[in-house]
């Protein structure tokens, strides 16, 4: 019963978020490279399955995450990256967000952030590069919302790259990403 009421509350929250997003929607993103743009439709419980993304694309230079389905943009979100956002992640502690092809492999509803989805970093190429330099490749790269315990003002998180290498979004955006991405969805992180 508790699970059912929680799911009902999450679906209701998503509907409200989608309505608010549709009312205050920003213009569609200008995305190139094999991508057709489709305007975002309001999110409802009935549309969740038909809106499920088949891949995720992150464009670091644009600070954007795109949920894709059949080559069309379903949703676009502003992201914050690692404190040192330019360039490929090379090792643990470099505060860079990786670049490459990965998968969304594990969901954590009880993380230190508002929901988190693990990115399968490091991949084979990342490990090979790290071994060649005798570095620890690092790990624990995730898409997540804001920290559960804010240590700065909300404006800081909106304007700044603040993670240790993760991809951060607003809590409202994280809820949509959580609901619209299937397990093991491919994610491509571009410079």
Query: 121-125: long-range contacts at Cβ-Cβ below 8 A with a sequence spacing of 24 or more?
Result: 121/89, 122/98, 125/100
Dig out the tokens for 117 from the structure: 């989805």
Topology (CATH) of 2-190: L,D-transpeptidase catalytic domain-like (2.40.440)
Q: Supply φ then ψ for residue 124, to 5 degrees.
A: -60, -45
Q: Can you give the pLDDT at residue 38? A: 43
Residues in the chain with pLDDT values less than 50: 1-39
Strand order, beta sheet including 55-59? 36-37, 72-78, 64-69, 55-59, 186-190, 100-108, 116-119, 142-144, 167-168
Q: How far apart are CA 106 and CA 178, in angstroms?
A: 11
Q: Which of 175, 160, 113 is nearest to 141 (CA)?
A: 113
Break the chain into its structural domains and give their ranges.
Answer: 2-190
pTM of the model: 0.75
Q: Can you give the pLDDT at residue 51? A: 75
């Amino acid at each position: 019963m508790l699970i059912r009421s929680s799911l009902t509350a999450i679906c209701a929250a998503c509907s409200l978020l989608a309505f608010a997003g549709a009312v205050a929607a920003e213009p569609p993103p200008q995305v190139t490279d094999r991508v057709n743009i489709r305007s975002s439709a309001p999110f409802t419980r009935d549309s969740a399955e038909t809106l499920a993304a088949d891949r995720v694309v992150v464009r670091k230079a644009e600070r954007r995450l795109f949920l894709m389905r059949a080559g069309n943009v379903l949703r676009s979100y502003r992201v914050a990256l690692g404190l040192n956002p330019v360039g490929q992640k090379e090792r643990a502690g470099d505060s860079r967000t990786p670049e490459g092809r990965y998968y969304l492999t594990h969901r954590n509803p009880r993380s230190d952030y508002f929901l988190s989805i693990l990115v399968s970093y490091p991949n084979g190429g990342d490990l090979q590069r790290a071994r060649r330099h005798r570095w620890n490749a690092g790990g624990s790269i995730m898409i997540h919302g804001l920290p559960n315990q804010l240590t700065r003002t909300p404006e800081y998180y909106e304007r700044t790259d603040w993670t240790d290498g993760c991809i951060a979004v607003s809590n409202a955006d994280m809820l949509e990403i959580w609901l619209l991405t299937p397990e093991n969805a491919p994610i491509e992180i571009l410079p």
